[in-house]
Amino acid sequence: MLTDNYGRRFYYLRLSITDVCNFRCDYCLPDGYQCDHDRDFLSLAEIQRLATAFASLGTEKIRITGGEPSLRKDLPQILESCKSTPGIKKLAITTNGYKLNSQIQDWIDAGLDALNVSIDSLDPRLFQSITGHDKLQEILSGIDKALTLGLTQVKVNTVLMRQYNGADIDTFLNFIKETPVTLRFIELMQTGDNHTFFTEQHVQGSRIKQQLILAGWQPVIKEKSSGPAQEFYHPDYRGKIGLIMPYSKDFCASCNRLRISALGKLHLCLFADQGLSLREHLQSDDQAPLINAISHLLTDKKATHFLQQQLTGATKNLAMLGG
Ligand code: SAM
Ligand code: SF4
């Protein structure tokens, strides 16, 4: 099992398959996708080799992310290849939902177990203002379709922003009253590119946590392998609430994930100083050099990120790496 110098185990891999995105979220790619490198993204064969190596090191869960992963035409093949890797028990995706309605059946057929969709406002006008796309209703109907098709693990990611949703969580609570999804409020994180936006918009998740507890929400008991999200349930609601608070004390203590960029670099932290290329080891089916490289590089993983000190590492925006 991949274990770092602090005893943390890494059973979860976040694998970015493209950094291209068609949305322009204010906090991520406000000017849209700008290409400043070759679009030489991991091929299906390279992805298969990575999945096999990580699985043999104890990885049980892979999340496909991006940029927007559904922009890759071979997404169903990628999903199928990851899910059929011996040792991989859970396959998830994070998407902006643009192609959810038309593609979810294919993703489920390919073996998808869990779906995260990003929705920062349930007001269509605000949604359009944040993302640049008038797609909220279509994305919501994509979520309904996923639930109707029997997908049981559906989450909605909502980045907290003062201007858009920080003051009013009731609309989101109403949404999960009858919709059996976990809605996760994510504290806005500072990245290399969003300093001013971050300073103006960051809202602490702890205020929402207090509100929830006062309203009778109860913490879900965490499993040993749970990551840093805190989850809450309420008997009157079919959905749950999650809080992801990267600025809170001890957030990194339960880190259980590693990240691979679409260019095949291992990022030991979302805010690491650099990605460490594995590409040379992905060119043949010989797994030993790849496995050795991953195990060796992991010894460099730091105990925490340095976001409190405004150090965002090499991460200009999260589309580079998949969040
Ligand atoms: N395009 C897909 C999507 O939006 O779901 C996948 C990639 S996106 C980078 C993954 C997640 O990171 C999304 O839920 C997004 O809202 C979140 N995210 C992006 N930038 C962020 C930031 N600066 N702070 C917090 N969350 C962020
Ligand atoms: Fe694209 Fe996701 Fe970034 Fe929005 S958060 S711009 S959908 S990568």
Measured from the Cα of 191, ligand 1's closest atom is: 23
Structural domain boundaries enclosing 251? 12-162+247-320
Structure tokens at 209: 């946590």
With respect to residue 220, please indicate whether it lies within any of the assigned structural domains: no
CA distance 197 to 117: 22
Q: Where are the alpha helices (DSSP H) in 149-242?
A: 170-178, 195-201, 205-214
Ligand 2 site, residue 75, Cβ cutoff 6 A: no
Supply the residue whose CA is at minimum distance from atom 11 of ligand 1. 323
Helix pair 75-83, 100-109: axis angle to 10 deg? 30
With respect to residue 225, please indicate whether it lies within any of the assigned structural domains: no
Measured from the Cα of 27, ligand 1's closest atom is: 23
Question: Ligand nearest 193 Cα, by number?
Answer: 1
Ligand 1 site, residue 121, Cβ cutoff 6 A: no
Supply the residue whose CA is at minimum distance from atom 10 of ligand 1. 323
Which residue in 165, 204, 158, 197 sits closest to 308, CA to CA?
A: 204
With respect to residue 257, please indicate whether it lies within any of the assigned structural domains: yes
The domain that holds 121 is classified in CATH as 3.20.20.70
CA distance 181 to 153: 7
Structure tokens at 62: 């892979």
Helix (H/G/I), strand (E/B), else coil: 157: strand
Encode the chain (323 residues) as per-residue pLDDT tens digits.
Answer: 899 999 999 999 999 999 999 999 999 999 999 987 778 999 999 999 999 999 999 999 999 999 999 999 999 999 999 999 999 999 999 999 999 999 999 999 999 999 999 999 999 999 999 999 999 999 999 999 999 999 999 999 999 999 999 878 999 999 999 999 999 999 999 999 999 999 999 999 999 999 999 999 999 998 766 778 999 999 999 999 999 999 988 899 999 999 999 999 999 999 998 999 999 999 999 999 999 999 999 999 999 998 888 889 989 999 999 99
Ligand 2 site, residue 67, Cβ cutoff 6 A: yes
Ligand 1 site, residue 66, Cβ cutoff 6 A: yes
CA distance 281 to 258: 17
With respect to residue 84, please indicate whether it lies within any of the assigned structural domains: yes
DSSP 211-223: HHHHTT-EEPPPP
Pocket test for ligand 2, best of 17, 23, 156 (most atoms within 8 A of CB): 23
Ligand 1 site, residue 319, Cβ cutoff 6 A: yes
DSSP 106-119: HHHHTT--EEEEE-
The amino acid present at 174, given as its one-letter code, is N
Question: Do 159 and 28 contact (CB within 8 A), yes or no?
Answer: no
Structure tokens at 36: 């400043």
Structure tokens at 262: 């679409």
With respect to residue 256, please indicate whether it lies within any of the assigned structural domains: yes
With respect to residue 16, please indicate whether it lies within any of the assigned structural domains: yes
> What pLDDT does residue 161 have?
97
Pocket test for ligand 2, best of 25, 135, 316 (most atoms within 8 A of CB): 25
What's the gap in Å between 237 CA and the centre of ligand 1? 26
Question: Ligand nearest 159 Cα, by number?
Answer: 1
Ligand 2 site, residue 71, Cβ cutoff 6 A: no
Number of domains within the chain: 1
Pocket test for ligand 2, best of 68, 93, 158 (most atoms within 8 A of CB): 68
With DSSP H G I counted as helix, E B as strand and the rest as coil, what are the percentages for the chain, rounded to 5? Answer: 35, 20, 50
With respect to residue 96, please indicate whether it lies within any of the assigned structural domains: yes
Question: Do 165 and 121 contact (CB within 8 A), yes or no?
Answer: yes
Ligand 1 site, residue 183, Cβ cutoff 6 A: no
CA distance 311 to 83: 35
What's the gap in Å between 289 CA and the centre of ligand 1? 32
> What pLDDT does residue 306 have?
87
With respect to residue 228, please indicate whether it lies within any of the assigned structural domains: no
Measured from the Cα of 16, ligand 1's closest atom is: 7
**Mind listing the pLDDT tens digit for each residue in 189-209?**
999 999 999 999 999 999 999
Q: Are strands 90-95 and 61-65 parallel, antiparallel or unpaired?
A: parallel
CA distance 248 to 280: 37
Strand order in the sheet with 114-118: 218-219, 230-233, 240-244, 182-187, 153-160, 114-118, 90-95, 61-65, 12-16, 257-260, 265-267, 276-277
> What pLDDT does residue 224 have?
67
Cβ-based burial of 150 (10 A; exposed 0-12, middle 13-18, buried ≥19): exposed
Question: Do 180 and 153 contact (CB within 8 A), yes or no?
Answer: no
DSSP 39-78: --PPPHHHHHHHHHHHHHTT--EEEEESS-GGGSTTHHHH
Ligand 1 site, residue 96, Cβ cutoff 6 A: yes
The amino acid present at 184, given as its one-letter code, is R
Ligand 2 site, residue 319, Cβ cutoff 6 A: yes
